[in-house]
Amino acid sequence: MDARALDEGHLGRAHTRVEGPDKVTGRALYSSDRVGPETATAHAALVTSTIARGRITGFDLEAAGRVPGLLGIFTHRDFAGAVAPVKHLMAGGFANSSHRPLDSEAIAYAGQIVALVVAETQEAAAAAAGAVRVAYAAEPAAGGFDAPGAETVRLADLKPHHEDIARGDAEAALHTAAVRIEARYETPVQHHNPIELFTTRAAWDGDRLTVHEPTRYVGAVQHGLAAQLGLDPAQVRVVAGLIGGHFGSKFALSQHTALVALAAKRLGRPVSLVPSRRQCFTIANYRPESRHRIRLGADRTGRFTALAHEADTVTSRFDPFVMEGAEVTASLYACPNIRTEERAVRVDRNTPGPMRAPPEVPFLFALESAVDEMAAALGMDPIELRRLNDTAVDPVSGKPFSTRPLMACFDAGAKAFGWSRRAPRPGSMRDGPWRVGLGCATSVRPVKIAAATMRVRLGPDGSAEVACAHHEIGNGITTLLAMGAADGLGVTVERVTVRLGDTDLPAAGISGGSSTTTSLMNALALGCGQIRETLAQAATGQGGRLAGHDPGRLRLADGRLVAPDGAGIALAEAVGPAGVETVAAFVPEGGDHETALAGLRQGHIGLSLGGGGKAVSWGFGAQFAEIHVHAETGEIRVARLTGAFAAGRILNPLTARSQLTGGMIWGLGSALLEETVLDGAAYRNPDLAEYLVPTAADAPEVEALLVPDPDDRVDALGLKGLGELGIIGVNAAIANAVHHATGRRIRSLPIRLEDVA
Ligand code: MOS
């Protein structure tokens, strides 16, 4: 790895998004936008189940059949057996759910797809879908925790790799602790609502299938579809243009993708599906509800002596997706006696999945609320309690943290936020009719990194191209790659073309786990380093214009290949008329090269932990919230959010801050607004009128500070990624501020005015 390849220049400085102008002028293409010949494309609509469990006993298609422009109504009678089973991505397969709709008359959850209707226009498809009548025989369904029929499974029994943590004797230490906190916390169901819906467009050319879908893993969709439809992966091309947000959705292969492809095949026409917002609550993944019991023991000085974290989270009957989070809460603070127990509760719902910082958001709400409760019980400042229990070593594994800037984040954040003006006693700060509360909480997230292959090309005219089958999800990776290639190849950002989101490009992994920057920038450094090396060897070889120079010290800069003494040759001469091209294959430290690359080329998920197994590498942050609670009405307003974050080397402070502040505002929504209400096993508020997210008027002053975090152990470039760090800890910071304002400890999210009025 030639880490120096990306050493200087554009990286590290603010740069606006290179695709920004296309996005704001409407030129940017998303998957359901004009991606094929409009006249030939047929439009699909879904019919979804109104019962949660049971079976279909019949269809009345007469009214639907009379809708002008109808091309076909496909049900299990048409598609049973047509889609071969594919396992969940987390179980070694490709799918976000292994459930197969339209395979039989069985209904496994509310909102399951029961028919795919295709017509000449989207309006006709929607009208016909609305006219389909389905008769069911319903059976009792378990909708969530406490429902009859819900089945609790120990995680250790469900997932072979999971181990509950037992270090020391937590029960005995809790028994003898001088100060003890025991509390139960709850978080609700939350649903993904990216602006771009979960669309699919499928078109056949003979036996070759092209799918346009906003997925964050084109490779998994390609290989999953091939397995489902009995095709060679080479017959399937998956294209994901710009993606209008995923945040954990658009995860692997969707259940509707193969159905759209089958309809396109039967009709001999491209078919485009744009499901409704309401349907996106049940045809995709979501954050399941969770319950936590935390017991925390400390001595009189505040040193933690025992931590027990028991957690239950919901999952579906048929998939192994579970939010596992106790490994982070167990490792966060110094503590000699730690016990965790995680359980999954299987219910009759669609399979949950990741949502921005999947486990850390609910698990740290619980732990960081409990830490605040402990500070109150001890009469200590909550930041000083965290400082006392800070640790340079992971208390569970005994490995060192590669860096541990947690308290640097608290110090920087406290200063910017004005923590020193906080009067310790709850309920003691007022602003007219408003009670004022200041709260804080920790944000941490393990660093993830994945293998990636990437083609890098440098032309004689100073143009360059970077290409791989990864994705622009709105996080700014296109901009980082253009900046990095400009630095690594000595050209301008404007001359770099970045191509992503297409299985025809060199294989890369999932846009997830905040691993995009860590993985792709390491692959880019490798590719730029290989090009520099090739050119330097040629130029310094016998008869070369730079013969006699040390090839290792030549650099590409300002359109030239240059030596330290200033001697150099123009790019056109260095690369020759055809230009130079390489395909870099990056594999994270500690990974087996062949296995990692084979997995990547077969569309499997391959995220590994930063730090190469020798150190524990996390991103860190300290979140601060000032909230105002109206003394009479209980109205809760967030006045300010301040976060200070340390996440390794920051490559573009502008897009980094955008990620962090966006996450913080989402955290506000999670703490005060977002909740999918369950009615039995159905979702009662599946639309943006009743599923509340923050509007611009709810967003307070938000400040994200970047704390230096040079880390030479996490990876060759010192990168940690921060796509998910910004949301973590905001729930607890707000709940802790509510306690400070009102003296009320709210342990169940979201916090509503009726909780504090
Ligand atoms: Mo994430 S929501 O683990 O990409």
Phi, psi (rounded to 5 degrees) for 642:
-125, 130
SS3 assignment, position 363: helix
Non-local CB neighbours of 511 within 8 Å, separated by 6+ positions? 216, 217, 243, 246, 470, 471, 473, 475, 477
Residue 406 pLDDT > 60, yes or no?
yes
Amino acid at site 116: L
Mean pLDDT (whole number) for 433-441? 98
The two tokens of residue 617 are 């590498």
The residue type found at 182 is: E
Mutate to test the pocket of ligand 1, among 287, 363, 722, 724 (most ligand atoms within 8 A of CB): 724
Which amino acid belongs to residue 490? Answer: G
Report which of 147, 105, 192 is spatially closest to residue 681, judged by C-alpha positions.
Answer: 147
Decide: residue 432, CB within 10 A, 0-12 exposed, 13-18 middle, 19+ buried: exposed
What ipTM did this prediction achieve?
0.97
pLDDT for residue 582: 98
Q: Whose CA is nearest to atom 3 of ligand 1?
A: 513
pLDDT at 4: 58
Pocket probe for ligand 1: among 356, 361, 727, the residue whose CB has the most ligand atoms within 8 Å is 356
Is it the case that residue 8 has pLDDT exceeding 90? no
Position 156 scores a pLDDT of 83
Q: Do domains 3-27+450-605 and 371-447+610-757 have the same CATH topology?
A: yes
pLDDT of residue 612: 87
Q: Residues 6 or more apart from 532 whose CB is under 8 A from it?
A: 2, 5, 488, 489, 554, 555, 556
Question: From ligand 1's centre to the CA of 437, what distance in Å?
Answer: 31
750 cis-preceded (ω within 30 degrees of 0): yes
Give the distance (Å) from ligand 1 centre to CA of residue 247.
Answer: 6
Look at residue 1 and tell me whether its pLDDT is greater than 70.
no
User: Residue written as tokens 């009726």?
Assistant: 754
The pLDDT mean for the chain works out to 96
Kindly give the distance from the C-alpha atom of residue 631 to the centroid of ligand 1, in angstroms, as a whole number: 38
AA letter at 306: A
- The correct CATH number of 3-27+450-605 out of 3.40.225.10, 1.10.150.120, 3.30.365.10, 3.40.50.1370 is 3.30.365.10
Query: Which atom of ligand 1 is closest in space to residue 511's alpha carbon?
Result: 4
- Shortest CA distance to 111 belongs to which of 134, 88, 85? 134
CA 414–ligand 1 middle distance (angstroms): 28
Phi, psi of 362 (to 5 degrees): -70, -40
Of the candidates 726, 730, 682, the one whose C-alpha atom is nearest the C-alpha of residue 704 is: 726
Pairing, β 448-450 against β 70-74: unpaired
Cα separation, 116 vs 125, whole angstroms: 9
Distance 367 CA to ligand 1 centre (A): 21
DSSP letter assigned to residue 402: S
Percent of the chain with pLDDT over 90: 95
Which atom of ligand 1 lies at the shortest distance from residue 355's CA?
A: 2
Identify the helix (H) or strand (E) that includes residue 414: helix 406-417
Q: Give residue 183 CA to ligand 1 midpoint distance, Å.
A: 28
Q: Quote the pLDDT of residue 3.
A: 52
What are φ and ψ of residue 754, in 5° steps? -65, -20
> What's the topology of domain 371-447+610-757?
Aldehyde Oxidoreductase; domain 4 (3.30.365)
pTM of the predicted model as reported, rounded to 2 decimal places: 0.97
- Confidence at residue 5, expressed as pLDDT on a 0 to 100 scale: 61
Give me the pLDDT at residue 363, please: 98
**3-class SS at 552?**
helix
| Alpha carbon of residue 356 to chain centroid | 4
In eight-state DSSP terms, residue 734 is H
In this predicted structure, what is the pLDDT of residue 161? 84
Mean pLDDT of 312-336: 96
* pLDDT value at residue 6: 73
Ligand 1 centre to CA of 515 (Å) is: 9
Compute the average pLDDT of residues 657-672: 98
> Does 450 have pLDDT greater than 90?
yes
Catalytic residue among 213, 324, 675, 724: 724
Q: Are 693 and 632 in contact (CB under 8 A)?
A: no
Is 360 a residue of the active site? Answer: no
Task: List, chain by chain if needed, residues with CB within 6 Å of any ligand 1 atom.
Answer: 248, 354-356, 358, 512-513, 724
Task: Extract the runs of DSSP E, i.e. beta strands, from 285-352.
Answer: 286-287, 290-298, 304-316, 338-347
The string of DSSP letters for 73-91 reads: EE-HHHHTTTS----BGGG
CA dist 525 and 748 (Å) reads 45
Query: For residue 191, how far is its CA from the centre of ligand 1 (angstroms)?
Result: 14
- Asked if 739 contacts 370 with a C-beta cutoff of 8 angstroms, the reply is no
d(CA 179, CA 377): 8
Q: How far is the CA of 566 from the centre of ligand 1 (A)?
A: 46
- For residue 109, CA distances in Å to 394, 680, 682 come to 41, 11, 8
Q: Is the predicted pLDDT of residue 2 greater than 60, yes or no?
A: no
User: What confidence tens digit (pLDDT) does each residue in 457-479 have?
Assistant: 999 999 999 999 999 999 999 99
CB 379 within 8 A of CB 192: no
The ligand 1 atom nearest the CA atom of 216: 4
The number of angstroms, rounded, from the C-alpha of 210 to the middle of its chain's C-alpha atoms is 26
- The confidence score (pLDDT) of residue 7 equals 64
pLDDT at 736: 98
Element (DSSP H or E) covering residue 668: helix 653-672
3-state secondary structure of 723: coil
* pLDDT, tens only, 250-295: 999 999 999 999 999 999 999 999 999 999 999 999 999 999 999 9
**CA-based nearest residue to 281, from 313, 249, 312, 321:** 249
Q: DSSP secondary structure string, 509-530?
A: --S-TT-HHHHHHHHHHHHHHH
Per-residue pLDDT at 483? 98
For residue 512, the ligand 1 atom closest to its alpha carbon is 4
Q: Quick one: DSSP state of residue 109?
A: S
Tokens of 371: 């830490």
Question: Strand pairing of 338-347 and 464-467?
Answer: unpaired
What is the domain partition of the chain in residue ranges?
3-27+450-605, 371-447+610-757
Separation of CA 511 and ligand 1 centre (Å): 8
What is the spatial distance between Cα 292 and Cα 355, in angstroms, rounded to a whole number?
Answer: 18
The answer on pLDDT for 539 being more than 90 is yes
Total residues belonging to the chain: 757
Q: What is the pLDDT of residues 560-615, one digit of tens each?
A: 999 999 999 999 999 999 999 999 999 999 889 999 999 999 999 999 999 988 99
The pLDDT-based confidence of 371 (bands split at 50, 70, 90) is very high
Residue 549 has pLDDT above 60, yes or no: yes
* Residue 436 clears pLDDT 60, i.e. is over it: yes
Predicted pLDDT of residue 39:
74
CA of 216 to the centre of ligand 1 (A): 10
Which strand (E) or helix (H) includes residue 256?
helix 255-267
- Rounded CA separation 627/701 (Å): 11
User: Amino acid identity, residue 731?
Assistant: N
| Tokens of residue 131, six digits | 């006219």
Distance in angstroms (rounded) separating the CA atoms of residues 290 and 523: 37
Question: Is pLDDT above 60 for 58?
Answer: yes
Say yes or no to pLDDT of 518 above 80.
yes
Nearest protein CA to atom 4 of ligand 1, as residue: 512
State the pairing for strand pair 452-458/200-205: unpaired
Atom of ligand 1 lying closest to residue 357 CA: 2
For residue 160, name the pLDDT band (cuts at 50, 70, 90): confident
Distance 246 CA to ligand 1 centre (A): 9
